[in-house]
Chain A
Amino acid sequence: MTQQQTAGGDVRLTGISKTYGSFTAVHPLDLTVPQGSFFALLGASGCGKTTTLRMIAGLEDATTGTVSLGGRDITGLPPYKRPVNTVFQSYALFPHLDVSENIAFGLRRRGIRSVKKQVGEMLDLVQLGDFARRKPHRLSGGQQQRVAVARALINHPQVLLLDEPLGALDLKLRRRMQLELKRIQTEVGITFIHVTHDQEEAMTMADTVAVMNGGRVEQLGAPADLYENPRTTFVANFLGTSNLIGSEIVSMGTDVVVSAGGGKLRLPGGRCPSTARSGEKLLVGVRPEKISLTRTDDAAAIPDGRNRIAGRITDSSFLGVSTQYVVESRSGTVLQVYEQNIERDSRLVPGAEVVLHWNPEHTFGLDADQSVHAGAAGAEGLEEAA
């Protein structure tokens, strides 16, 4: 096993796909997960992320393509011959075995007799030392989840696959387990591939996130990179919230100038899709927390060179750390703004005339040929509601 690890354990998917009858769950997909990384497959339910994971585990046969691990093709291997282990969504703990026997299951199957020491170490790692003789049904959800992780990790797999392992836990526990899993991953240094529909979870835990949609990978990158530079409206909306404004390109240079709703906006040329041409349409995006709000009366104080849009506040909600404003621009576009609650201007109430302004550097451009609402159907369905 150690020998395999030193040989380099990148997971490489080549042209892998899965079809059920006429339904394509996963379109041919190429993906490389470097050894030792924490990789997240993020997407809404039914986007093919779990199917992809199950193909790596061997629980699902790939229709086309290959899975290789550290250069070794494992596509044809049954699950019990693959050096990968899975933490299942429902944990799938064996109800007739106690915690320590659940954890020892994989070792025993490989003919290892003296499991006591390793099981003890694993119980310590997941902080369940006192529960070794309990049956799974006498554990809480969080404890069961930790048993499931320990049961997989004890085998020192080359890759640990996590299939929405935190989905069944309440919010507080989920946050704690996220940090816990991250700690364990750093400690053991095994490649983790984590499937989740929770964008926050993916961003807090993973080094690299692949956003999946409709059986395809939309974009792949570090969480901050995906957040700041979404390449599709789906990614822009699925990861956090984005304000997307329809516009037309006026001129192109180091800065691109577009006209939107009667005004002019600027954005860096490097943040535009390479297909953008002068005179064509472009979706201009900006994250809500990048925007500042100033009352129209005080607009003279706004420094030059910032992008501006005038509008009226239609709604505001106090969120504690910040306040969320919904602003309707003169041309009718609905925009969201998050203002930090440092010095709250008490005159910023629904009905107030305001100017939204932000640094042009924070503006990104997207191909206008896609739906503005893609990926926004989740919790942040404000655009649909408006």
Chain B
Amino acid sequence: MSVTEAPPAPPARAGARKPSIRRRLVPYWLLLPGILWLLVFFALPMVYQASTSVQTGSLEKGFEVTWHFRTYWDALAGYYPQFIRSLLYAGTATLLCLLLGYPLAYLIAFKAGRWRNLVLVLVVAPFFTSFLIRTLAWKTILADGGAVVDVLSTLHVLDVTAWLGWTENNRVLATPMAVVCGLTYNFLPFMILPLYTSLERIDGRLHEAAGDLYATPATTFRKVTLPLSMPGVVSGTLLTFIPASGDYVNAELLGSTDTKMVGSVIQSQFLRVLDYPTAAALSFILMAVVLLVVTVHIRRSGTEDLV
């Protein structure tokens, strides 16, 4: 198709008086606190971290920059199972969050009516308790001989999950399933809130228009609601996947040594082994991997095209 209408050239601003220098500097002054914040708490630590990752030495003799890039290779070679596990657990938890969160967000946005605010508060309510305590609570919930395990065991669900490699020995705690459950639970609100926001913005009349144009409710969802909620899906999955892939609390508290995620490794390298270069290198590799996954994800969903 040929576009006959070329966008009009912006009119030349002839005669417009140049604002004084002070006026032109105002935006930069307003930006200053934010820039300083980023500089002190983001850029500087990054540089420091980067330099740490290429240092060698020990805590007693001190570390110095020797441009030892081999640390990266060693870290990757030594801990790639944890990397893969992290991405797998975080990915599974993100998917579960999406499957659980979307219907709930849809319900809040379109069907909750006057209960909407109450339900939203309920979604956020767990956050009033500390992350650690909530995760510890799951330890009790999934404990051996607890109600959950009993029911799942009686229903032979645990046989199926054991066959899939998610659980073992008729227990849930200290298995991949427990870690994924914890991740899903802890990051669910980060999925629901952006989903709700983007669903709530959809004009209800679009649903009527689709129905009027012969779309069944299911088709309306597939062709109108879902595409229009993609910005929420993308930001929800990012907000869930990124922190989940770096999380170590769930793996530490609900898992075992076989379910360690890369976050646990970094934490122990920094705080227990005191091998700072390896810890820093692992952090950078994780960052790069997450960045890669996220970029591919955004590209594929093509949300920049949406309003």
Q: Which chain B residue lies CB-closest to A130?
A: B4
Contact across chains for B205 and A155 when beta carbons are under 8 A apart: no
Q: Which of A78-86, A324-332, A352-360, A371-379 contacts B (4 or more CB under 8 A)?
A: A78-86
A151-B213 in contact (CB<8A): yes
Query: Are B307 and A92 within 8 A (Cβ)?
Result: no
Instruction: For chain A, residues 80 to 106, give those with C-beta under 8 angstroms from any C-beta of chain B.
Output: 80-81, 84-86, 88, 90, 92-96, 105-106
**Which residues on B sit within 8 Å (CB–CB) of A135?**
307
- Say which residue of B1, B4, B215 sits within 8 Å of A109 (CB atoms): B215
Interface assignment of B41: CB less than 8 Å from any CB of chain A = no
Q: Which of A84, A109, A152 gathers the greatest number of chain B CB atoms within 10 Å?
A: A109
Residue B219 at the A interface, CB < 8 A?
yes
Contact residues of A between 137 and 165, Cβ < 8 Å to B: 137, 151-152, 155
Q: B212: which of A80, A93, A95 is its contact (CB, 8 Å)?
A: A80
Closest residue of chain B to A60 (Cβ to Cβ) is B208
Interface centre among A96, A151, A155 (most CB of B within 10 A): A96
Choose one: A88, A93, A137; the contact of B208 (CB below 8 Å). A88
A92 touches B203 (CB 8 A): yes
Cβ–Cβ < 8 Å partners of B209 in chain A: 86, 88, 92-94
C-alpha gap A155/B212 in the complex (Å): 11
- In this complex, the interface size class of chain B, counting residues with CB under 8 Å from chain A, is 20 to 34
Report the separation of the CA atoms of residues A107 and B212 in the bound assembly, to the nearest whole angstrom. Answer: 12
Measured CA separation A96–B205 after assembly (Å): 14
Partner of B1, one of A58, A80, A132: A132
B224→A94 contact, CB < 8 A: yes
State whether B214 touches A78 (Cβ < 8 A): no
CB distance from B279 to the nearest CB of A (A): 44
Taken together as a complex, chains A and B put the C-alpha atoms of A106 and B209 apart, in Å, by 10
Known pairs A88-B208, A95-B228; A80 contacts B307 (CB<8 A): no
Contacts A90-B203, A92-B206, A137-B307 given: A130-B5 contact, CB under 8 Å? yes
Among B216-234, those with CB < 8 Å from A are 216, 219, 223-224, 227-228
Please tell me if the beta carbons of A96 and B212 are within 8 angstroms of each other in the complex.
no
The residues of A that contact B216 with a CB separation of less than 8 Å are 80
The answer to whether A57 touches B307 (Cβ under 8 A) is no
Q: A90-B205, A92-B203, A133-B3 are in contact. Are A59 and B212 (CB under 8 A)?
A: yes
Chain B residues whose C-beta falls within 8 Å of the C-beta of A106 in the assembled complex: 213-214
Instruction: Tell me, rounded to whole Å, the shortest Cβ–Cβ distance linking B300 to chain A.
Output: 16
Is chain B's interface secondary structure helix, strand, loop, or mixed overall? Answer: helix
Question: In the complex, which residue of chain B has the Cβ closest to the Cβ of A161?
Answer: B212
Q: Considering only CB atoms and an 8 Å cut-off, how many residues of chain A contact the other chain?
A: 29
At the interface, yes or no: B165 with Cβ under 8 Å from chain A?
Answer: no
Verify A155–B211 contact, CB threshold 8 A.
no
Chain B residues, CB < 8 A from A59: 208, 211-212
Give the chain A neighbours of B208 by CB distance below 8 A: 59, 79, 86, 88, 92
Which of B169-228 touch A at CB < 8 Å?
203, 205-206, 208-216, 219, 223-224, 227-228
Residue in B203, B210, B211, B305 whose Cβ sees the most chain A Cβ within 10 Å: B211
Q: How far is the CA of A109 from the CA of B5 in the complex (A)?
A: 31
Instruction: Tell which of A93, A94, A133 has the most Cβ of chain B within 10 Å.
Output: A94
B3 close to A96 (CB less than 8 A)? no
The minimal Cβ–Cβ distance linking B186 to chain A, given in whole angstroms, is 32
Partner of A96, one of B211, B213, B214, B228: B228
A42-64 vs B, CB cutoff 8 Å, 1 = contact: the mask equals 00000000000000011100000
Contact B5 A155, beta carbon cutoff 8 Å = no
Expressed in whole angstroms, the Cα–Cα distance for A155 and B306 within the complex equals 27
Flag if B211 contacts A79 (CB, 8 Å).
yes
Q: B128 to nearest A CB, angstroms?
A: 37
B307 to A85, Cβ gap below 8 A?
Answer: no
* B:1-25 near A, CB below 8 Å: 1, 3-5
Docked complex Cα distance between A59 and B210 (Å): 11
Task: Report Cα–Cα, A86/B212, bound state, in Å.
Answer: 7
Complex interface residues of chain B between 78 and 129 (CB less than 8 A to chain A): none
> Closest CB of chain A to B152's CB: distance in Å?
41
A172 interfacial contact with B, CB 8 Å:
no
Give complex CA distance A167, B37 in Å. 50
Q: Are B215 and A80 in contact (CB under 8 A)?
A: yes
Question: Is A110 part of the contact surface with B, judged by Cβ < 8 Å?
Answer: yes
Residues of A within 8 A of B212 (CB): 57-59, 79-80, 84-86, 152
Which residues of B lie under 8 Å from residue A105 when comparing CB positions?
A: 210, 213, 215, 223
* Chain B hits for A151, CB < 8 A: 213
Which residue of chain B is the closest to A84 with respect to CB atoms? B212
Which of chain B's residues 258-307 have a Cβ closer than 8 Å to chain A?
Answer: 305-307
CB B225 to nearest CB in A, in angstroms, measures 10
B25 to chain A, nearest CB (A): 34
CA distance A144 to B65 in the complex (A): 63
Measured in the bound complex, the distance between the Cα atoms of B136 and A382 in whole Å is 75
Task: For the A-B complex with A95-B306, A105-B213 known, give 13 more contacts whose Cβ atoms are closer than 8 Å.
Answer: A57-B212, A58-B211, A78-B211, A79-B212, A81-B214, A92-B203, A92-B205, A92-B208, A94-B206, A109-B213, A130-B3, A135-B307, A137-B307
Residues of chain B whose beta carbon lies under 8 Å from any beta carbon of chain A: 1, 3-5, 203, 205-206, 208-216, 219, 223-224, 227-228, 305-307
List 22 contacting pairs A-B, 8 Å CB cutoff, sorted by A. Answer: A58-B211, A58-B212, A59-B212, A79-B212, A80-B211, A80-B212, A80-B213, A85-B212, A88-B209, A92-B203, A92-B209, A94-B209, A95-B307, A96-B228, A96-B305, A106-B213, A109-B223, A130-B5, A133-B1, A133-B3, A135-B307, A152-B213
